[in-house]
Structure 1
Amino acid sequence: MLGIPTHLAPRVNAWSTVRAFHAAAIGSLVAAALLLLLYRLDAPSDHVLGAVLAVVPMLVMIGVHVHIGTWRSAAAFLVVGGLCTFWFATVVQRELTEVPWVASYLMSLVVVPLVLIGGSGSGSARVVLWSVTGFVVGRVVTAIAVLQVGGPDHPLVLAWVTLGFVIALVLAVGRSTARSERIQPELLRSAREEHVTAYRAGIEAEAAAILHDTVLNHLNAIALAPAGPMDEHLARTMESDVAMLTGRAWLAGNAHATDDTDTATAEGVAAFERMLDEQRSAGLRVTVTGDPVSVARLDTRAMTAVLRAVGQCLANVTKHAGTDEAEVSVFDDGVSCTVMVVDDGRGFDEQATGADRMGLRNSVRERIGRVGGEVQVWSSPGSGTSVMMSVPYSAGTEPVPVDVGTGSTTLDSGSFGIERAS
């Protein structure tokens, strides 16, 4: 029942049960008509076609009631059904006197729809009331037909069994619904708390990654800078990052979205170039191969994640690889965008990386994972490092520009996904 509002659950259950009853009622009438036709083929002298014709108005009225679904259509079915049942029972009682058990079975088949019609109510009590009323109508008219034609009375065992089944089923569904009404608020509360927890974990993980990409990288740049005045580009970047971290810009996101695909793609490529320029300003020579437009084809949150992750990979080259050259390759296979960052530096053993080192784990692996992507790393001491990030395109999502850099990046609020809790 989770997913169905508590106040709608009883109506949904009752509606489903009534529709199942209607289908069974049609099946019962069709079975009665087919049995009579087969009997007519076996005994051509018996005039049972009148009973077959009596079934037709009942089928029509079931269709009317299913379409209209009001108490008036239910009452009309009981009236028409009662008359047709009397007509049916009269023919069967007159023509099948030699096989009373067959007559009893056939009469039960036409009484069963009166029991199963279920009325128009959505509550369990109304369904039971209409079913009992239908049984009483069917039992009375068949008894009158038997008295009029003569012969033994018929117990209508199948109709009795059907009535008992209906009552038992409705009571069971009612108990299940009552139990669902008691436990559903707790289930919904737990689901909501889990959603909030996962969402909060995503925000905290992204916040930690941003803090690492900005403050820690800047502190490292300051430590490596020569004595004297601070580089103007580094100072501007730090000021922009401080403004972002103390405000809500990193949660606002998508502030400059546009519906123009060409413009959005151009601005996405420009964001890619700005990220590379920031790394080059730190002294890293970056070679780009492939098609950078592929990155701009990603949706907002995916492009934000990729550009930030690539920026962090390049920052890691500057800090740890012992080389001032790196290559960024962009591939598009029509399904996903793949970006590789390769250097020929000193390399490292990822398994030996300390748990407190967040660059590759938080800023690359988990960031790409939050947008449904995958990251593979090939590296070993002395053989350089290759990081491959693959992110699938979002079907039907137009690319939008994102102001992304090593630090001063405007993130969209959707980039803190709940797919996984970091």
Structure 2
Amino acid sequence: MPAAEWRVARLATRRRAAVTRAQVETVSGRALGLFGLVFGAQTLPLALEQSSALVEGAGPALMAVLYGAMAALAVASIAKVAVRVAALAFAVLYALALAAWPFIVADPAAMEGETPWLYYICTVATTAAVVALPTPIAAGYTIVVPAFYGVIRLLPAGGGSPPLLAVLDAMYAVILGSVVLIIVTMLRQAAEAVDSAQEAALQRYDVAARQHATENERVKVDALVHDSVLTTLLSAAAADSPEEQALAARMARDAVKRLDEAAAEGPGALDTVGLPVLVRRLRAALTTFSAPFTVRVVNAGGVELPVEAVDALYSAAVQAMVNSMQHADGPGHATRRELRIRGVRGGGCVIEVADDGVGFDRHEVPDERLGLRVSIEERIANVGGATEIRSQPGHGTTVTVAWPAAEVGGGA
């Protein structure tokens, strides 16, 4: 195996073995869903017991809301769909339940010396905040919510515990939440550093691999020209008899055939890239734009694409977003823009750039405008992909680019 190809293959092996940010988020979400179910099952008997001390109907309603949110979180984490939304919903619902607790306890005497069952799922709520929120906000939640529980613990509705016990309970919840926050944050930072290093290394090795393939192609073409074309020309120049001329004609046909075969083969891509790399590149491009785009990513983990396809999808998507910023805005209208990326498990990708702007009539676009025809459609077609452009005046525009071509039209 040539050195450049061996280095690329080794790099691909290392990339598959490394932990990525997407994997960290998946593991964190699934751990949260699993432990949420475990903690919920453990607190169920206590929750049923304390329901008699609450306002009639409040106990079952509270359990239905919180346990239902935990079940939804577990399902979302397994399916890897809307995990952050489910985690955020549970964190918010838990904080609201904690705030409502003093008002729904109808018999404070029945709670004397008891620990409200909400305490035992406090760590689930702080972990959900870590998964769903940016680190600074999650850190605030990890401190404020347990501290608020400590205050409730002092009240008759919270058991009327001594101040020291209330502080210890709150500190214990803060410590557990902080440990989870630190671990997840460190894993995220480490995974991001690995992702960045891999992306930079892939770009360097991609350049080296392309140069190597180009050099191999040049040597192959040089040998072909020397062995077939020049030999054919020399034979044709020296051909005097009909037999020699017929031989030269056959040699010419053979040379043309070999040239056609060489042109059809061409240099190919030597490596694949994970779809999360393309997602990060597009997110980085968005930071340089003056207009905001809402980004939605589905099924990015585990999808590998050829380097040439990634380059074409990235360039075409950026061009579509630039076109939207240049042409979609109308007077007195705030245009909403979306970038939707969907991975296909078999090894494909669909990207949609959509806006609700002024739209346009495709047939009225002048031929000299190359933004759609060359920068998007031909670029994607050259790597075996397909493009679909849907737009009407006054009804916005959606540009869909997909690789391979069979994926276009599937929707994101």
> Common fold, TM-score beyond 0.5?
no
- Larger Cα-atom Rg: 1
Structure with a larger share of its residues in helix: 2
Considering Cα pairs closer than 8 Å and 6+ residues apart, tell me whether 1 or 2 has the greater RCO.
Answer: 1
When normalised by structure 1's length, the TM-score is 0.40
TM-score w.r.t. the length of structure 2 is 0.41
